[in-house]
Chain A
Amino acid sequence: MSTLKKINNFVELRQLREQLKKNYQESLSNEIKIIVGMGTCGIAAGANDVMKAIIDELQRRNINATVMQTGCIGMCAQEPIVEIIRPGEKRVTYGRISPADAKRLIEEHVLQGRIVEDLVVATFEEGHPDETNFYKQQRLVLRNCGHIDPEKIEDYIARDGYMALARVLEQMTPEEVIEEIKASGLRGRGGAGFLTGLKWSFAAKAPGDKKYVICNADEGDPGAFMDRSIMEGDPHSVLEGMLIGAYAIGADEGYIYVRAEYPLAIKRLRTALAQAEEMGLIGKNILGTDFSFTLHIKEGAGAFVCGEETALIASIEGKRGMPRPRPPFPATSGLWGKPTNINNVETWANVPIIIRNGAEWYASIGTETSKGTKVFALTGKVKNTGLVEVPMGITLREIIFDIGGGILKDKKFKAVQIGGPSGGCLPEEKLDLPVDYESLTRAGAIMGSGGLVVMDQNTCMVDVAKFFLNFTRAESCGKCTPCREGIQRMREILQNICKGKGTLEDLDRLETLANTIKDTALCGLGQTAPNPVLTTLRYFREEYEAHIRDKRCPAGICQDLLTYFIQPELCRGCTACVRVCPVGAISGEVRKPHVIDPEKCIKCGSCKETCRFSAIAVK
């Protein structure tokens, strides 16, 4: 990597930005760019091999082109993704690229200038708004993800990075910064949706000479990965947000608490931090002002409860991550007993955008009470899985069907789980709900971190409720009784129902327990843990009743209630199922109908998936 020069003042920063912008424009008209998506999703889908194939092929053919990596482009379903920009031409995005496809792209597109139509996902005019706002999205937080090399601070600065910091240090008092954030209406993107500006003002007003800012990057909700993608794809935006927050509340030290399950995010944050320090954007007397700030990156050690702010603080202090009662709130007594302000990754990443474009502009996006955009992780049984950023107030239907492309294999939509283990499952009739904090809470779910797990007709809602209780039971820190014992009891009731041993009274018992835990648990995690059960009871009660009354799982998931059998009239005796059955439960002569021995069958479903004649049924 090139050595970075220290930036001493605002003028030097602006000069550098102009220079980098010019370099970028020039490179667009001079060289062929090949961009490979190297976020965790891309790598999991094989991007490393694709990258290697591209570099090898370019070398072998002696072609001059710039190959760069970028973070998450957001279209996980299309990974690995390769983008090609030829001088003066459109940016072409290719999806599901294998190493062999990569060679084809080089032969046909790079060399001959012919777009390989059958692999194209999208094409964009470079610099055109559509480039970042495809479909119904409005990409503010994700504006750089997929466009910059996250390991190069120059790329960030060329796209106006650290300009918000410069503006704040040069032109605004800490009070003005807080007023600006208040006026923008920004609310916490991690859980309860508290007003960010108001939260900052508490820590700013708290007496004390030493204050801290913390970035909660312990993204523990299963099904949410926007924070990982921001850290992997645009780490400097988080640093810049924290710098601005630190200046506003008067903190000179900060921590990013990032979960250990995200090794790539940790690596890129460390790289970003080292670069910012080298350039003097973090450290003593930043940009020649009196403002100094040091930042540490702390790796979490694997505990979901550390997403709760008091537990997170305990963990940074080296203790078991257990929440404590509030007040005192961290704003008055947080890390090491000092005033502390905690926001999550996405919240911090919103801050530079607000400062650069102004609170008024930001507040014009979204609804009355929920401003700006929200990043959602769209996963489960939906066609276009990925990260989408949309203005608040859009409907769930638009996200799932217009952006998400609808349900996988065109099956029937059943529910969408929103907000992780603290959220709820919403049915079809709630799809036209505008996505904002209040509407979701009224429907029994929460915005949470923004995980949207789509479920189809083959998902059992009782099983989903049980799944979440398994999770919260395992992750309960054990400090308070309602959570530690109550969730265990709820889980036992659900296990019985899934085995066909439930009674209708169990449903009342579940509700009573759930409401008691909601009212009495110590922290937000315990109080919201019953939500998945309460919402499934509210919207899918008949499915619970089918398990209890008819001893039947309508979705065909709960194994104890299922029997696999072969329909003789459909079976051709191809023996495919015999070969996949892991326990040798299927027998029969070739080209004659086979049978499953129910004694041996472990109900794994392998045969059903393998059968090309749909001869295997479940009852």
Chain B
Amino acid sequence: MCTCNNQSLPYEGDSRLTELLEEYKGQKGALIPLLQKTQSIFGYLPEPALRRIAESLKLPLSQVYGVATFYSQFRLKPQGRHVIKVCQGTACHVRGASRILDRLQRELNIKPGETTEDLRFTIEPVACLGACGLAPVMMVDDEAHGRLTPDVIPKILAKYA
């Protein structure tokens, strides 16, 4: 495969990525777990890292890129320190999820999918968090917040520096 473009990659020397690639070498179906773990190191998938993964798994970069853009979990741009997953599921929808999303957008002054300038928050609308009994729901990092009303949003956001 083409190796013309990887002479001075910023992640060339990143030992964490090197270790990961070593761990998954030769394993079947390694691409998605590798992308997941790479994203948990860098917070997103930097292009040089995608190139190294492609090379290590002996896959065309187009296939790696195809997988990285197919699944909603993967991000090709840096994300905020805290990711706010706002549930857009049916139960949340009929209980006013759109007003929660509106309020978040106004509080943080960003649109869904965007990250605040100070890299504090990213808003990520998601299909369903499966906590429908407490609709409407959002999750900040791995912490779920239920029975939301627009008024409680500022208080919740204040908890995350």
Name the interface residues of B56-78: CB closer than 8 Å to any CB of A: 63, 66-67, 70-74
Q: Which listed residue, A41, A301, A387, A451, touches B90 by the CB 8 Å rule?
A: A451
Known pairs A45-B134, A79-B146. 8 more at Cβ < 8 A? A40-B131, A220-B127, A301-B36, A320-B70, A377-B132, A377-B133, A381-B94, A385-B91
What residue of chain B has the Cβ atom nearest to residue A219's Cβ?
B130
The reply to whether B90 and A320 form a contact with Cβ atoms under 8 Å apart is no
Q: Once bound together, how far apart are the Cα atoms of A225 and B29, in whole Å? A: 27
Q: Beta-carbon contacts of B129-150 to A below 8 Å, as 1s and 0s?
A: 1111111010000111111001
Complex contact B71–A301 (CB within 8 A): yes
* B50 interface residue per 8 A CB criterion: no
Cβ contact within 8 Å between B33 and A320: no
> With A318-B31, A381-B95 as given contacts, are A467 and B126 in contact (CB-CB < 8 Å)?
no
Q: Which residue of A lies closest to B144 (CB)?
A: A44
Assuming A225-B132, A582-B106, is B74 touching A301 (CB within 8 A)?
Answer: yes
Chain B residues 77 to 115 lying within 8 A of chain A, measured CB to CB, are: 85, 88-95, 99, 102-103, 106
Q: Assess A336 versus B70: contact at CB under 8 Å? Given A77-B133, A223-B132, A604-B102.
A: no
B35–A301 touching, CB < 8 Å: yes
Cβ-based interface call for A304 (8 A): yes
- Would you give the 0/1 interface string for A511-545, flagging 1 where the beta carbon is closer than 8 Å to chain B? 00000000000000000000000000000000000
For the complex, give the distance between the alpha carbons of A386 and B67 in Å.
36
Write the residues of chain A forming the contact surface with B, with a CB cutoff of 8 angstroms. 40-41, 43-45, 76-77, 79, 219-225, 228, 260-263, 298-304, 315-321, 336, 377-381, 385-387, 417, 420, 451, 453, 455, 459, 464, 467-468, 471, 474-475, 477, 580, 582, 604-606
Could you tell me the distance in whole angstroms from the C-beta of A185 to the nearest C-beta in chain B?
Answer: 28
Asked whether B9 is an interface residue with its Cβ less than 8 Å from the other chain, the reply is no
Residues on the B chain within 8 Å of A417, using CB = 90
CB A388 to nearest CB in B, in angstroms, measures 11
B119 interfacial by beta-carbon distance below 8 Å: no
CA distance A300 to B150 in the complex (A): 31
The answer to the question of B28 belonging to the interface, with a C-beta cut-off of 8 Å to chain A, is yes
Q: List 26 A-B contacts (CB under 8 A).
A: A40-B144, A44-B131, A44-B137, A45-B146, A76-B132, A222-B89, A222-B132, A223-B132, A224-B132, A228-B130, A298-B29, A298-B32, A301-B35, A301-B36, A301-B72, A301-B73, A316-B29, A320-B67, A377-B132, A378-B133, A379-B90, A379-B91, A385-B133, A420-B90, A459-B94, A467-B90
- B 116-131 binary contact with A (CB < 8 Å = 1; else 0): 0000000000111111
Quick one: which of A300, A303, A379 contacts B135, CB cutoff 8 A?
Answer: A379
Chain B nearest Cβ from A258, distance in angstroms: 11
B152 near A: Cβ within 8 Å? no
Q: With an 8 A cutoff between CB atoms, is B20 at the interface? A: no
Cβ A380 vs Cβ B36 within 8 A: no
- Give A495 Cβ to nearest chain B Cβ, in Å: 15
Name the A residues within 8 Å of B32 (CB-CB): 298-299, 301, 315, 318
CB contact between B133 and one of A79, A301, A606 (< 8 Å): that residue: A79
B residues at A contact (CB < 8 Å): 28-33, 35-36, 63, 66-67, 70-74, 85, 88-95, 99, 102-103, 106, 126-135, 137, 142-147, 150-151
Residues of A within 8 A of B94 (CB): 380-381, 453, 455, 459, 464
Contacts of B85 in A (CB 8 A): 261
Check B99 against A303 for contact (C-beta < 8 Å): no
* Chain A residue at minimal CB-CB distance from B145: A44
Contacts A222-B127, A223-B89, A604-B102: A318 and B133 contacting too (C-beta < 8 A)? Answer: no
- The contact of A262 among B63, B95, B130, by CB within 8 Å, is B130
Chain B residues with CB under 8 Å of A318's CB are 28-32, 67
In the assembled complex, the CB of A142 is this many whole angstroms from the nearest CB of chain B, namely 14
The reply to whether A41 and B134 form a contact with Cβ atoms under 8 Å apart is yes
The 9 closest A-B pairs by CB, nearest first: A76-B133, A222-B89, A301-B71, A44-B144, A302-B72, A318-B31, A379-B91, A222-B128, A44-B146
CB distance from B108 to the nearest CB of A (A): 14
Greatest chain A CB density within 10 A among B28, B103, B132 is at B132
- A317 touching B29 by the CB < 8 A rule? yes
How far in angstroms is the closest Cβ of chain B from A507? Answer: 23
Least CB distance, B11 to chain A, in whole angstroms: 21
Q: Identify the closest chain A residue to B149 (Cβ).
A: A609
**What is the minimal beta-carbon distance from B88 to any residue of chain A, in angstroms?**
8
| Closest residue of B by beta carbon distance from A385 | B133
Q: In the assembly, what is the distance between CA of A316 and CA of B133, in Å?
A: 30
Query: What is the chain B residue whose CB lies nearest that of A229?
Result: B130
Residue pair B130, A261 in contact (C-beta under 8 Å): yes
CB-nearest residue of chain B to A76: B133
Query: Do B102 and A45 touch (CB < 8 A)?
Result: no
Please measure, in the bound complex, the distance between the C-alpha atom of A476 and the C-alpha atom of B151, giving whole angstroms: 34
Chain B contacts of A317 at CB under 8 A? 28-29
Contact of A43 (CB < 8 Å), options: B30, B91, B144, B147: B144
B133 smallest CB distance to A (angstroms): 2
- State the Cβ distance, B152 to closest chain A Cβ, in Å: 12
A606, B144: Cβ atoms closer than 8 Å: no
Query: In the complex the two chains form, is A471's CB within 8 Å of B91's CB?
Result: no
Interface centre among B28, B94, B131 (most CB of A within 10 A): B94
Chain B residues in 8 Å Cβ range of A606: 99, 150
Chain A's nearest CB lies how many Å from the CB of B114?
A: 17
Asked whether B130 lies within 8 Å of A225 as measured between CB atoms, the reply is yes
- Given the complex, which residues of A lie within 8 Å of B102, measured CB to CB? 604
**Residues on the B chain within 8 Å of A471, using CB:** 88, 127
Cβ contacts under 8 Å, A223 to chain B? 89-91, 128, 132
Question: Inside 8 A of A580's CB, which chain B residues have their CB?
Answer: 151
What residues of chain A lie closer than 8 Å to B135, measured between beta carbons? 379-380, 385
Residue from the list B71, B130, B144 in contact with A224, Cβ < 8 A: B130
Q: Which residue of A has the minimal Cβ distance to B141?
A: A263
CA distance A408 to B62 in the complex (A): 51
B75 to chain A, nearest CB (A): 11
Min distance, Cβ A464 to any Cβ of chain B, angstroms: 8
Taking a contact as CB atoms under 8 Å apart, the answer to whether B73 and A260 are in contact is yes
Inter-chain CA distance A224–B31, complex, in Å, is 29
Q: Is the CB of B35 within 8 A of A222?
A: no
* Complex: A377 Cα to B137 Cα, angstroms: 16
